[in-house]
């Protein structure tokens, strides 16, 4: 699905990603773990083609990601921000994204997204009246509305209450079962251990280890890191 | 830091020798212009510094293209150096023009299109530094400064085109034979082209020295040796 | 569907979104309008205009006011894309990112033209010179077209700066100089009774600016947006 080779990205001559290589096969559900500032967000933004790396290659299904804009259709991205317009309602925001992705039967898809996020009673209110958690739920549906085959999620649980977070875990599990490839950056990855298949450890700008979750105990540092980070 | 390259030393020495030489040429070799008198001699350095200013902005834009295609900071240093030096030459051109204008037009400044646009273009390149100072990372700074230098160089000829459509009171020197505002004698032409060459050498020398300074600064910021 | 149609649909989607945001929030055009009316009245005060002077200044006043008002609209339009990182949402769209340039330029052009079309009769009313001439509309469309092209490019530059709120005018005005010279000269010519044929040099210059800045946006917008 994705092959990353020798990826480099510097900000102010400080390397954030340094010769990073990582391969994620189709259908994997991979947790990206790492301390704050390890470069998780930068990596995900590069994979979403929002940030251009200084050097290195990113292949999405064997094609160079930055060469062809239409490849971005295969990617769903959820970042720290909702990417919504505060003056528009949930419905209008989603319709805007449906147009950007050029979706046919968009009405139906939008209705499904709004139902799924549980915001039907609020769908025509301007987005700035929504709470952080409501926006986050809607933002996840936005990332999924064009049925991407690769899903990049950056701290998807942030701002969600316990129920919504559990709902999100279930949603991700289902997506994984449907064959979607997931790469999820999580500062506290414990809750994903039940549904994920792999874990990748990002340290000092490199993926130092990538293992299936069964083999987690083979890498003592990673194992204790994942279980102890609170 | 490596020692100064030999060619740069040569340029340094050439600049130091040639500027006074050009001055001697202008003051003692050229005849006095019939109507304007001695003050006309400002013209040689005036045009030469305007030329050097323009040339350096073209260099800045070229370096901008260089940066955007290679993403090598060396091009950014060159672009910054060229704009900085260019702004100084632009100021020299404006100041020397004002010195000429006072006895000829009887005022330091007139709101002639040519003068006004030149002044605004000077501001345009001062804005380049304002733009740079507000950008956070070196990469963004270099990238957007390059874009700005390129757009500026697209605009400058358009501005010149626009003032060609006006009637200007600024003398037109470079024009088809017969239509220029005053005709230069052969001696004047020699001094004129000599000034252009000398200022071009000075420009190259200054940009190169400024570039070395930028390279040194970058080295310090990286904490290297 | 062909790639080009998809591209145009993205441009159109961005334009519609901007119109919708403006319709909901009404934070762009009304501000531009009130601002430009204020400029018109303040000019009259500050310059102590006598009636003869007034009519001669109408074209200059129109362009200075439009240039100022458009800056407000451009800033607002760029700020909109900063909120919640919405610009990243546009960048996710699976088409070449110059589509964002065209979409934003189109909506900026629409709001500036709207202001211009209200400003023209207003100036006519208060300054005793009829600005409602077909030839002048042509000049206004060409001039604001080139101006908003350049303005959209530069607003994408300025929002990345810490000084974003004040930077745009400083970047824009000197670079817009050929546009403003040509537009106000052509307008002055039209108001003093010259035909379009006599003013064709200015019109060609406006057209050249428009084409060059469109090409610049097409080629450089992706580079400006990337991080």
Instruction: Note whether A12 contacts B: Cβ–Cβ < 8 A.
Output: yes
- β-pair partners for A150: A75, A181
Distance in angstroms (rounded) separating the CA atoms of residues C161 and C170: 13
pLDDT beyond 60 at A69:
yes
Distance in angstroms (rounded) separating the CA atoms of residues C129 and B90: 40
For residue A21, the model assigns a pLDDT of 93
Residue A11 C-alpha, separation from nearest chain B C-alpha, in angstroms = 6
Partner-chain contact B144 C160, CB within 8 Å: yes
Q: What is the mean pLDDT of residues B22-26?
A: 88
Residue B151 C-alpha, separation from nearest chain A C-alpha, in angstroms = 22
pLDDT beyond 80 at B180:
no
Cα distances (angstroms) measured from residue A74 to each of A66, A67, A150, A183 = 13, 14, 6, 14
Q: Residues in chain C, how many?
A: 227
Domain ranges in chain A?
A: 2-85+150-228
Instruction: Tell me the pTM.
Output: 0.91
Q: Write out the CATH class of domain A2-85+150-228.
A: alpha beta
For residue C214, the enclosing domain spans 2-226
pLDDT beyond 60 at B177:
no
For residue B223, the model assigns a pLDDT of 65
Quick one: DSSP state of residue A82? -
Instruction: Note whether A161 contacts B: Cβ–Cβ < 8 A.
Output: no
pLDDT beyond 50 at B225:
no
Q: What is the mean pLDDT of residues C57-86?
A: 92
Partner-chain contact A85 C84, CB within 8 Å: yes
Which residues from chain C sit within 8 angstroms of residue B133, using beta carbons? 163
- Using DSSP's 3-state secondary structure scheme, residue A120 falls into helix
Give ipTM to 2 decimals.
0.91
Which of A45, A102, A143 is the best mutation test for C, with the most CBs of C within 10 A?
A102
> Would you put residue B185 in left (φ > 0), alpha (ψ -120 to 50) or beta?
beta
pLDDT category, B56, cuts 50, 70, 90? very high
Distance in angstroms (rounded) separating the CA atoms of residues B153 and B158: 9
Distance in angstroms (rounded) separating the CA atoms of residues C165 and C168: 7
Partner-chain contact C25 A72, CB within 8 Å: no
For residue B164, the model assigns a pLDDT of 74
Partner-chain contact C212 B154, CB within 8 Å: yes
Which residues from chain C sit within 8 angstroms of residue B130, using beta carbons? 163, 167, 170
pLDDT beyond 70 at B181:
no
Domains of chain C: total:
1
pLDDT beyond 90 at A172:
yes
Neighbours of chain B (3+ CB pairs under 8 A): A, C
Of all residues in chain A, the percent with pLDDT exceeding 70 is 99
Partner-chain contact B221 A13, CB within 8 Å: yes
- Using DSSP's 3-state secondary structure scheme, residue A5 falls into strand
Partner-chain contact A11 B71, CB within 8 Å: no
CA dihedral of A194, A196, A198, A200, whole degrees rounded to 10: -100
pLDDT beyond 60 at A192:
yes
pLDDT category, C1, cuts 50, 70, 90? low
Residues A104-128: tens digit of each pLDDT: 888 999 999 999 988 999 999 999 9
Residues A199-230: tens digit of each pLDDT: 998 988 888 888 888 888 888 778 777 777 64
Q: What is the mean pLDDT of residues B197-212?
A: 95
Residues C96-129: tens digit of each pLDDT: 999 999 999 999 999 999 999 999 999 888 887 8
pLDDT category, A60, cuts 50, 70, 90? very high
């Amino acid at each position: 699905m994705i092959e990353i080779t020798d990826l480099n990205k510097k900000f102010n001559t400080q390397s954030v990603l340094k010769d990073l290589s990582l391969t994620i096969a189709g259908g994997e559900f991979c947790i990206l773990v790492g301390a704050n500032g390890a470069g998780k967000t930068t990596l995900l933004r590069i994979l979403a083609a929002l940030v251009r790396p200084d050097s290195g290659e990113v292949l999405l299904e064997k094609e160079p990601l930055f060469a062809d804009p239409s490849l971005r259709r295969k990617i769903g991205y959820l970042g720290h921000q909702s990417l919504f317009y505060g003056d528009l309602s949930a419905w209008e925001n989603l319709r805007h994204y449906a147009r950007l992705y050029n979706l046919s039967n968009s009405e139906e898809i939008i209705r499904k997204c709004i139902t799924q996020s549980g915001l039907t009673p609020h769908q025509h209110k301007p987005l700035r009246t929504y709470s952080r958690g409501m926006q986050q739920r809607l933002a996840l549906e936005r990332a999924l509305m064009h049925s991407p085959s690769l899903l990049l999620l950056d701290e998807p649980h942030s701002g969600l209450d316990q129920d919504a977070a559990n709902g999100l875990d279930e949603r991700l599990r289902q997506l994984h079962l449907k064959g979607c490839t997931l790469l999820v950056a999580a500062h506290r990855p414990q809750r994903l251990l039940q549904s994920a298949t792999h874990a990748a450890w990002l340290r000092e700008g490199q993926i130092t280890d990538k293992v299936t979750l069964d083999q987690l105990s083979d890498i003592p540092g990673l194992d204790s890191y994942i279980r102890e980070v609170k | 830091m490596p020692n100064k390259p030999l060619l740069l030393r040569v340029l340094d020495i050439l600049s130091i020798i040639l500027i006074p030489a050009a001055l001697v040429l202008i003051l003692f070799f050229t005849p006095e212009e019939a109507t304007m008198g001695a003050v006309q001699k400002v013209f040689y350095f005036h045009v030469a510094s305007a030329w050097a200013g323009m040339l350096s902005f073209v260099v800045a834009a070229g370096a901008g293209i260089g940066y955007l295609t290679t993403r090598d900071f060396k091009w950014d240093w060159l672009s910054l150096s060229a704009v900085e030096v260019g702004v100084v030459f632009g100021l020299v051109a404006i100041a020397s023009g004002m010195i000429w204008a006072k006895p000829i037009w009887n005022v330091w400044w007139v709101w002639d299109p040519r003068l006004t646009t030149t002044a605004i273009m000077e501001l345009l390149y001062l804005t380049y530094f304002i733009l740079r100072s507000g950008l956070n990372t070196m990469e963004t700074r270099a990238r957007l400064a390059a874009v700005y230098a390129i757009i500026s160089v697209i605009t400058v000829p358009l501005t010149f085109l626009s003032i060609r459509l006006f009637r200007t009171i600024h003398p037109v020197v470079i024009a088809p034979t017969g239509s220029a505002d005053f005709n230069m004698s052969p001696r004047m032409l020699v001094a004129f082209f000599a000034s252009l060459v000398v200022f071009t050498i000075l420009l190259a020398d200054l940009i190169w020295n400024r570039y070395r300074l930028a390279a040194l600064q970058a080295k310090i910021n990286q904490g290297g040796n | 569907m062909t790639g080009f149609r998809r591209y145009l649909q993205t441009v159109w989607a961005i334009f519609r979104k901007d119109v919708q945001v403006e319709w909901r929030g009404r934070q762009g055009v009304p501000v531009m309008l009130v601002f430009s009316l204020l400029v018109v009245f303040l000019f009259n005060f500050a310059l102590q205009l006598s009636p003869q002077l007034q009519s001669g200044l109408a074209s200059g006043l129109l362009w200075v006011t439009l240039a100022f008002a458009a800056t407000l609209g451009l800033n607002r339009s760029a700020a909109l894309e900063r909120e919640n990182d919405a610009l990243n949402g546009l960048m996710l769209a699976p088409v070449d990112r110059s589509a964002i340039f065209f979409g934003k330029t189109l909506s900026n052009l629409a709001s500036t033209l709207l202001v211009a079309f209200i400003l023209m009769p207003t100036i006519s009313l208060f300054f005793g010179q009829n600005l409602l001439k077909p030839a002048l509309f042509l000049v206004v469309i060409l001039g604001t077209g080139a101006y908003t092209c350049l303005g959209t490019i530069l607003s994408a530059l300025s929002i990345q700066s810490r000084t974003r709120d004040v930077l745009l005018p400083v970047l824009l005005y000197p670079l817009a100089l050929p546009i403003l010279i040509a537009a106000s000269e052509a307008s002055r010519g039209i108001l003093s009774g010259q035909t379009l044929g006599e003013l064709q040099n200015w019109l060609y210059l406006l057209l050249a600016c428009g084409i060059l800045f469109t090409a610049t946006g097409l080629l450089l917008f992706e580079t400006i947006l990337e991080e």
